[in-house]
């Protein structure tokens, strides 16, 4: 981990060796098959990195939770009326973040010039992704994939809580089945699927935002790790899990009702949804 307070030794002169600075061990876990040692050192710091913002969100969970709550409400309420712009914006955000993360992995952001060039290319990728993602068929496909993924996470979470049984194969089967089922249903009843899936996705994001404040609901990454490594630590499910499930289900029906009843949330003939 990064330790900004640790000074990096000066570069040695020719023929000399750079001074060695030992790391500071923070914690260690050597009980299971996977050994883990966490330590702080100046080499863990990077002058330029888009991943720093991700770390900032991880350290400030209140901000992450607040953003998820706001995004969830917007998608749940206006997902059908602003379906294409929202889907295009989501695709643009994914493209921008993916390009910047890739640039960070290949160390293309280590200089100011490189960071500027990569940012410009990332903006171009985001623009292309917005245009592509805001096409009706592509947007419906992205919605079905996202909705199936989130439904699969909910189903797997319920199974782990009820039966204490986790299986990556089962999770992949359930998630794939939900994605395919939503896609097929969307081909025949697009408006129905768009309304219910935007309400489902919006409610799930809204619910996940509250988990950052209250805890008791493991992340999807933690679920994957537990399913892939049976000897990993048990997931942090608490009694709040059922509150989250009720909040998600209630949010789905509330958002669907609002989309159908509130004039400003309805999709009209002139909206992008019909293009």
Q: Is residue 209 domain-shared with residue 145, that is, in the same domain?
A: yes
Q: Is residue 8 domain-shared with residue 63, that is, in the same domain?
A: no
Radius of gyration, alpha carbons of the chain: 22
Alpha-helix residue ranges (DSSP H) falling in 189-262: 190-214, 220-228, 240-261
Q: Is residue 154 domain-shared with residue 221, that is, in the same domain?
A: yes
Is the residue at 207 inside a domain?
Answer: yes
Position 51 pLDDT exceeds 60: no
120-175: pLDDT as tens digits: 998 999 899 889 888 877 888 778 877 877 788 788 778 877 777 777 788 888 88
184-228: pLDDT as tens digits: 877 777 778 788 888 888 898 899 899 888 887 777 677 766 666
pTM of the complete model: 0.66
Q: Is residue 41 domain-shared with residue 65, that is, in the same domain?
A: no
Q: Is residue 30 domain-shared with residue 70, that is, in the same domain?
A: no
Instruction: Name 196's Cβ contacts closer than 8 Å, sequence gap at least 6.
Output: 252, 256
Is the residue at 109 inside a domain?
Answer: no
- 15 or 211: which carries more pLDDT confidence? 211
**pLDDT at res. 137:** 79
Is the residue at 231 inside a domain?
Answer: yes
DSSP class per residue in 76-102: HHHTTTTHHHHHHHHHHHHHHHHHHHH
Is the residue at 107 inside a domain?
Answer: no
Q: What tokens were used for 103? A: 């640039």
Q: What tokens were used for 8? A: 């990096």
Is the residue at 126 inside a domain?
Answer: no
Q: Which residues partner with 37 through β-bridges?
A: 28
Q: Is residue 14 domain-shared with residue 65, that is, in the same domain?
A: no
Q: Is residue 22 domain-shared with residue 69, that is, in the same domain?
A: no
Structural domain range at position 203: 51-81+135-265
Residue 21, burial from CB neighbour count under 10 angstroms (0-12, 13-18, 19+): middle
Number of domains present in the structure of the chain? 2
Average model confidence (pLDDT) across the chain: 77
Q: Is residue 77 domain-shared with residue 1, that is, in the same domain?
A: no
**pLDDT at res. 263:** 78
**pLDDT at res. 274:** 41
């Amino acid at each position: 981990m990064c330790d900004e307070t640790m000074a990096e030794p000066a570069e040695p002169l020719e023929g000399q060796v750079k001074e060695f600075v030992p790391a500071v061990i923070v914690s260690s876990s050597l009980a299971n098959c996977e050994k883990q040692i966490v330590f702080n050192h100046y080499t863990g710091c990077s002058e330029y990195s888009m991943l720093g913002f991700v770390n900032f969100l991880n350290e400030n969970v209140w901000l992450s939770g607040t953003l998820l709550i706001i995004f969830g409400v917007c998608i749940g309420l206006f997902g059908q009326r602003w379906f294409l712009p929202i889907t295009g914006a989501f695709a643009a955000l994914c493209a921008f973040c993916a390009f910047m993360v890739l640039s960070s992995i290949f160390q293309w952001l280590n200089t100011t010039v490189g960071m500027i060039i990569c940012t410009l290319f990332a903006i171009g990728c985001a623009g292309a992704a917005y245009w592509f993602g805001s096409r009706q068929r592509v947007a419906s496909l992205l919605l079905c994939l996202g909705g199936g993924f989130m439904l699969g996470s909910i189903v797997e979470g319920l199974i782990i809580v009820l039966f204490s049984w986790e299986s990556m194969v089962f999770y992949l089967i359930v998630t794939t089945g939900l994605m395919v089922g939503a896609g097929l249903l969307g081909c025949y009843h697009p408006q129905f699927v768009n309304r219910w899936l935007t309400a489902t996705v919006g409610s799930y994001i809204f619910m996940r935002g509250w988990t950052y404040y209250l805890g008791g609901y493991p992340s999807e990454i933690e679920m994957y790790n537990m399913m892939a490594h049976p000897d990993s630590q048990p997931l942090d499910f608490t009694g709040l899990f059922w509150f989250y499930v009720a909040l998600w289900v209630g949010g789905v029906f509330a958002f669907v009702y609002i989309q159908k009843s509130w004039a400003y949330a309805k999709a009209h003939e002139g909206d992008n949804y019909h293009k």
